[in-house]
Amino acid sequence: MSACDLSVRIASLVLRNPVLSASGTYGHGLEMGVFTAAAELGAWVSKTVTLEPRGGNPAPRICETEAGLLNSIGLENRGLEHYIAHTLPLMAAADTVVVTNIGGERVQDFAELARRLDGESAVDALEVNLSCPNVQGGKLPFATDRVLAAEVVRAVRAATHKPIFAKLSPNTAGLGEIARAVEGAGADAITAVNTLLGLALDWRTRRPGLATVQGGYSGPGIKPVALRCAWECARAVRIPVIGCGGIQDAADALEYLVAGCTAVQVGTASFADPALPGKLAREMASLLAAQGIGSARELCGTIHDGREARDAVQAR
């Protein structure tokens, strides 16, 4: 059985395989080194980095559910200066592509983060967390409005030469329109999608599972929704789409490729098995080879949906 070529291209980056870690679930990648070698992943995606340190939300901020978990971490991180001085030098030594996820409360926050990271050679790409609340616009997430989302991406594009991944939210209507808007503003790829809004409570105590009441729902329960979102984005744009949501095994990951994604991100499943992201690429290659498929790229966009998803993907 011949080897399967898993390499994929996203903008100017060539990834050895289409498996990335998802922001916020894998630390900065460094923490998982005892479980998975960096070289086993196509890329590490950092936790969200903000300009200033953030303490995050009060506890409890993690709550298990029947088919996943809810979180309300609140973007806890030590801020950009600490990230550049202490984290990036360690990530630079990793044998993989490094993607820094950035978040802000104002458009200018994103632009400043991009500007300051543009000169950092250890950063190969930026992922823009558009689910951050816009404090100047009623605290609605940037990702819920195509004009605001495009404004953020346009500001980041003006501040950096690095590839930009725009991470979108499923908690909105018109996702295809938002995807087209960020593509037009200069995004090089789209990550689809972030967590769904959810709530858990105990009817006996009348108390919610999270101190913030609602939070982001992730895990296997969201896969059908996230897969539909990724498919919708892939139909709407001509830039690569990175699928994210509910991936537990290689078959899940391959479903995202069929739906039109170029690559995938693995998140919540890493909590149960920190070595999973490293295993997935090997398992994907085995499944593809068993079907006589010579590369991951051959599978992208092959869904029989009666539309031109495959043509759009192959033209990228």
Residue 135: CATH number of its domain: 3.20.20.70
Look at residue 247 and tell me whether its pLDDT is greater than 50.
yes
In a domain, 59, yes or no: yes
Round to whole Å and give the CA distance between 152 and 193: 17
In a domain, 299, yes or no: yes
In a domain, 121, yes or no: yes
In a domain, 2, yes or no: no
Round to whole Å and give the CA distance between 2 and 20: 24
pLDDT > 70 in the chain, percent: 95
pLDDT at 30: 78
Q: What is the mean pLDDT of the chain?
A: 94
pTM: 0.94
pLDDT > 90 in the chain, percent: 86
Give 145's contacts (C-beta < 8 A, 6+ positions apart). 137, 178
Round to whole Å and give the CA distance between 219 and 223: 7
pLDDT at 35: 84
- Residue 157 · residue 118 · CB < 8 Å: no
In a domain, 154, yes or no: yes
In a domain, 203, yes or no: yes
Domain ranges, residue 157: 8-314
**Total domains present in the chain:** 1
User: CA angle, 57 as apex, 54 and 63 as ends, to 5°?
Assistant: 135
Single out the catalytic residue among 4, 63, 132, 261: 132
What average pLDDT does the segment 26-53 reach? 89
Look at residue 308 and tell me whether its pLDDT is greater than 60.
no
Give 14's contacts (C-beta < 8 A, 6+ positions apart). 7, 8
- Per-residue pLDDT tens for 68-118? 999 999 999 999 999 999 999 999 988 999 999 999 999 999 999 999 999
In a domain, 3, yes or no: no
Q: Reply yes or no on whether 132 is catalytic.
A: yes
